[in-house]
Amino acid sequence: MFLPCTREEMARLGWQAPDVILVTGDAYIDSPFLGVAVIGKLLMRHGFRVAIIAQPDFQSGRDITRLGEPTLFWGVTGGSIDSMVANRTASGRPRKTDDYTPGGRNTRRPDRAVIVYANLIRRHFKNTVPLVLGGIEASLRRIAHYDAWENRVRRSILFDAKADYLLYGMAEQSVIELAQVLAAGRSPLSVRGLCYAASAPPPAALQLPAYEEAAADKQAFIRMFHTFYANNDSLTALPLAQRHNNRYLVHNPPQPPLTTAELDAIHALEFERDVHPLDRRKGKVRALDTIRFALTTHRGCYGECHFCAIAVHQGRIVQSRSAASIVQEAKLLTTHPDFKGVISDVGGPTANMYGFECTRKPVLGACHDKRCLYPSTCRSLKVNHQPLIDLMQQLRAIPGVKKVVVASGVRYDMLLADHRHGLSYLREVIRHHISGQMKIAPEHSDPAVLAAMGKSGPQDLLTFRTLFTRLTKEERLDQFLTYYLIAAHPGCTFAAMERLRSFCKQELHLLPRQIQLFTPTPSTWSTLMYWTEINPFTNAPCFVEKSETGRERQKAAIISAAGRPAGSSAPGTRQRKKRKP
């Protein structure tokens, strides 16, 4: 069933008031891919009454007051995407469309949605029950953070939203513990994965540079981020504290990663895989087409690409579901009246990190002095694609399934590191699981830029491309690779983009069209480089193209026939004009 969104639905359930009201910047899609649906269903399973207000009108009290007041807490999320990323392009221009809004027009999600919704609640419910922030927007803005749209360091979103608590990460365990201690009338301040404000730091907490210091001194900001990032592993993290004026943000250590059984239990919750009728009648929600018949196999990532926040939000330990759980969910998909036989994706943050993990990391924590995949695949990470091969074969054998698509990107460096099963996996994907194209993300070809991104060099790409071409010909299939590239990443000059263009023409024999401008989003190493113009690993100066003209020129170096737009300045010229917010 859907979680109730109206008083009529609550009345049919016999509720006078919900225990928890979840407020979200997305339309309400009841799907395991939507965090608000997962959190709501999980709380319901533990005996709490949960209702949802999706995309409330933020200029009136019409929507935020329609369910009354919860008895335990308000949960506030900006939705599946940071609202500033959802609302603004990489060049800062307003986006006209939103896949998570009925009708597709970007008119329902405010900028800084978490802050706006929290203020909306405070305006209409004085002295209300606690406000709890969650989701990706809150998670990545939980400490002092650089905000590219304002080109300044902002406070923790907990203070700007005037909230009581913030739950970071995926938060399933945290939200259950929080609800239980609040229901029992106890203090929640020891819940792992929780942030809160205090008048003094806990005695055991590591103190980060104060907000005021981090905002004024880029070296202090770098020190802050190093300490923050080093304390994101549940096995080794210490409590953190950061002074904001006369108060402290207290950041408890993260929750342990979910076990396979716990992850299976979440995906065993009943989901409608549809848009709630209240939103459905307002128009089509395009995101549903992508996620309705897709399967999540795992969460977390080994990669730690410097421009990506998955390691901070989902963790560095990869948590995999059991094959039985995934197969059972696939069988359930085949019973849906709209299922046409195609499972649209099987994967996670990437497609091929399923079913294996380093033996050291779950026991001792993530390494502080090295990474799993950069600069090369760690020998302690025994990459093994056989569990994924077995899983895909089981999915293909389900009656009613005509095609199982791998739409998530594939890490080709990991595939090459698996000398026993990597080639077999690639052949399986080519033969059965792509429809004409396979997505990979080399991001760049220049070694210096790739080092700034935390990505391996171009030789792995060329080796993989040769393998893909050979196997495709052996299978007598007309299929090709799609390359995703990034322009204007810290460390990338116009000359580096010209070298990338030459590499694409000479080695790939094409000019890719999937070029995106680097977007500085909170809590990533790349954003740290963007703001400070310093490489945080070497403390050396780092070139950063910040002007809108220069950034667009970098992108045009690949997609423009001439390589340089008319009237552009000379390659490599540093632009001093700041990007418009």
| Co-location of 375 and 481 in the same domain | no
| pLDDT confidence of residue 170 | 97
Burial 46-56 (b: 16+ CB within 10 A, else e): eebbbbbbbbb
pTM of the predicted model as reported, rounded to 2 decimal places: 0.94
Distance between CA atoms of 319 and 259, rounded to whole angstroms? Answer: 7
Q: How confident is the model at residue 435 (pLDDT cuts 50, 70, 90)?
A: confident
Q: Could you read off the pLDDT of 143-197 as tens digits, one per residue? A: 999 999 999 999 999 999 999 999 999 999 999 999 999 999 999 999 999 999 9
Q: Check which CATH number belongs to the domain holding 167 and give it.
A: 3.40.50.280
* Final residue before a domain boundary, out of 231, 251, 271: 251
- Say how many domains are in the chain: 3
Q: How confident is the model at residue 124 (pLDDT cuts 50, 70, 90)?
A: very high
Q: How confident is the model at residue 562 (pLDDT cuts 50, 70, 90)?
A: very low
Kindly state whether residue 81 falls inside one of the protein's structural domains. Answer: yes
| Co-location of 162 and 31 in the same domain | yes
The annotation status of 504 as a binding-site residue, yes or no, is no
Bridge partners of residue 320, in order along the sequence: 298
Kindly state whether residue 509 falls inside one of the protein's structural domains. Answer: yes
Distance between CA atoms of 291 and 27, rounded to whole angstroms? Answer: 14
| Tokens read off for 5 | 């969104």
Kindly state whether residue 302 falls inside one of the protein's structural domains. Answer: yes
In the predicted model, what is the mean pLDDT of residues 536-553?
A: 96
* Final residue before a domain boundary, out of 473, 505, 531: 473
Residue 80, CA distances (Å) to 38, 84, 96, 254, 512 in order: 12, 12, 18, 20, 28
| Co-location of 424 and 343 in the same domain | yes
Kindly state whether residue 183 falls inside one of the protein's structural domains. Answer: yes
Q: How confident is the model at residue 579 (pLDDT cuts 50, 70, 90)?
A: very low
Kindly state whether residue 215 falls inside one of the protein's structural domains. Answer: no
What integer best gives the mean pLDDT of the chain? 94
Tell me the angle at which helices 386-396 and 323-333 cross, rounded to the nearest 10 degrees: 30
Distance between CA atoms of 255 and 568, rounded to whole angstroms? Answer: 50
Q: Could you read off the pLDDT of 450-466 as tens digits, one per residue? A: 999 999 999 999 999 99
Asked whether 36 and 137 are in contact (CB, 8 A), the reply is no
Peptide linkage before 375 cis (omega within 30 of 0): yes
Instruction: Check whether 558 has a pLDDT greater than 60.
Output: yes
Asked whether 444 and 491 are in contact (CB, 8 A), the reply is no
| Co-location of 495 and 526 in the same domain | yes
* Final residue before a domain boundary, out of 214, 233, 251: 251
| Co-location of 447 and 500 in the same domain | no
Of 265-274, 500-509, 557-566, minimum mean pLDDT range: 557-566
Q: Check which CATH number belongs to the domain holding 397 and give it.
A: 3.30.750.210
| Co-location of 576 and 560 in the same domain | yes
Asked whether 126 and 68 are in contact (CB, 8 A), the reply is no
Kindly state whether residue 216 falls inside one of the protein's structural domains. Answer: no
| Tokens read off for 254 | 């993260």
Kindly state whether residue 175 falls inside one of the protein's structural domains. Answer: yes
Q: Could you read off the pLDDT of 352-383 as tens digits, one per residue? A: 999 999 989 999 999 988 899 999 999 999 99
Which residue range(s) make up the domain with 499? 474-581
CA 31 to chain centre: 16
Q: Could you read off the pLDDT of 267-320 as tens digits, one per residue? A: 999 999 999 999 999 999 999 999 999 999 999 999 999 999 999 999 999 999
| Co-location of 28 and 143 in the same domain | yes
Bridge partners of residue 406, in order along the sequence: none
The annotation status of 308 as a binding-site residue, yes or no, is yes
Whose tokens are 């060099």? That residue is 457
3-state secondary structure 179-239: HHHHHCCCCCCCCCCEEEEECCCCCCCEECCCHHHHHHCHHHHHHHHHHHHHCCCCCCCCC
Q: Among residues of the chain, what percentage have pLDDT more than 90?
A: 94
| Co-location of 180 and 306 in the same domain | no
Q: Could you read off the pLDDT of 261-279 as tens digits, one per residue? A: 999 999 999 999 999 999 9
Instruction: Check whether 564 has a pLDDT greater than 70.
Output: no
| Co-location of 130 and 43 in the same domain | yes
Cα angle 493, 499, 504 (rounded to 5 degrees) comes to: 130
| Co-location of 282 and 406 in the same domain | yes
| Co-location of 467 and 485 in the same domain | no
Of 68-77, 377-386, 566-575, minimum mean pLDDT range: 566-575
Kindly state whether residue 72 falls inside one of the protein's structural domains. Answer: yes
| Co-location of 444 and 479 in the same domain | no
